[in-house]
Amino acid sequence: MKIDVITLFPGMFTGPLDESIIKRARAEGRLELVIHNLRDYTHDRHKTVDDKPFGGGPGMLLKPEPIFEAVENLARDETKVILLGPIGRPFTQAIARELSEEKHLLFLCGSYEGFDERVREQLVDDELSIGDYVLTNGNLPAMVIIDAVARLLPGVLGDDESSHEESFSNGLLEYPHYTRPAEYRGMKVPEILLSGHHAQIAAWREEQSRRRTQERRPDLLAQQDASQSAQPE
């Protein structure tokens, strides 16, 4: 997969996406990631990217011209152009799975007060939020989404890192995990996990997942019930 990012702060991306699993995915050619500076698409001496809002009010908006030029320069027919910000639809693991099937993603990272609405009307295919809070710009949200998508690309996770039993893969939170020693500071690993009874272990884990989800994220169970009782259209 190819991912392009258009940002005012390209330096923010070096580091987080240059370590660990994402570093390996890039080195192996499974993910091609290129960061572009929006200022490179300006033509004036001051490399102006923002301006005051029509109608007045506080703050600045990103002006449309550099963004249109950048997107027109980088996007192809198959490109999905994604805007990040608090008014986007909530990003989920299901959206991560869908995005991981795309050939080319282009992330537009806003700053200041955001984008001229014509960018949304003409250039943007989807607008995503990573949660109900406000950040200084869309760079961290872009990195979060790139990380969640890249680890789902074919061959990126090794067998030991498999995403099959992790939280959200079955709509539930993960069950508790233990490793050696079997007793540590008086705290014992649940007997069932040492028993070798694979079917009973699986049943225990499922029960733990349900309990934990009920306790911490009842909204996830409600969603599951809703999707299981939904009538086919």
Residues making contact with ligand JF5 (CB under 6 A): 84-86, 110, 114, 129-131, 133-135, 137-138, 141
CA 53 vs CA 61, 114, 124, 211: distances in Å: 6, 10, 20, 50
Please list, residue by residue across 139-178, b when 16 or more beta carbons sit within 10 angstroms of its beta carbon and e when fewer do.
bebbbbbbebbbbbeeebbeeeeeeeeebbeebbbbbeee
In the bound state with ligand JF5, the residue whose beta carbon lies nearer, of 37 and 209, is 37
Strands 50-51 and 61-62: antiparallel
Taking the complex as a whole, the smallest distance from the CB of residue 99 to ligand JF5 amounts, in Å, to 15
CA 42 vs CA 18, 90, 123, 191: distances in Å: 28, 32, 18, 65
Taking the complex as a whole, the smallest distance from the CB of residue 22 to ligand JF5 amounts, in Å, to 20
In the bound state with ligand JF5, the residue whose beta carbon lies nearer, of 10 and 110, is 110
Classified as helix, coil or strand, 32 is: strand
Taking the complex as a whole, the smallest distance from the CB of residue 138 to ligand JF5 amounts, in Å, to 4
In the bound state with ligand JF5, the residue whose beta carbon lies nearer, of 133 and 232, is 133
Number of residues written out for the chain: 233
Classified as helix, coil or strand, 17 is: helix
C-alpha 135 chain-centroid distance: 15
- Other C-beta atoms closer than 10 Å to the C-beta of 83 total 26
In the bound state with ligand JF5, the residue whose beta carbon lies nearer, of 141 and 209, is 141
Going 214 to 220 to 224 to 225, the CA torsion angle's sign is positive
Taking the complex as a whole, the smallest distance from the CB of residue 134 to ligand JF5 amounts, in Å, to 5
In the bound state with ligand JF5, the residue whose beta carbon lies nearer, of 107 and 204, is 107
Taking the complex as a whole, the smallest distance from the CB of residue 24 to ligand JF5 amounts, in Å, to 27
Taking the complex as a whole, the smallest distance from the CB of residue 177 to ligand JF5 amounts, in Å, to 30
- Other C-beta atoms closer than 10 Å to the C-beta of 60 total 14
Taking the complex as a whole, the smallest distance from the CB of residue 50 to ligand JF5 amounts, in Å, to 12
In the bound state with ligand JF5, the residue whose beta carbon lies nearer, of 83 and 156, is 83
In the bound state with ligand JF5, the residue whose beta carbon lies nearer, of 115 and 204, is 115
Classified as helix, coil or strand, 90 is: strand
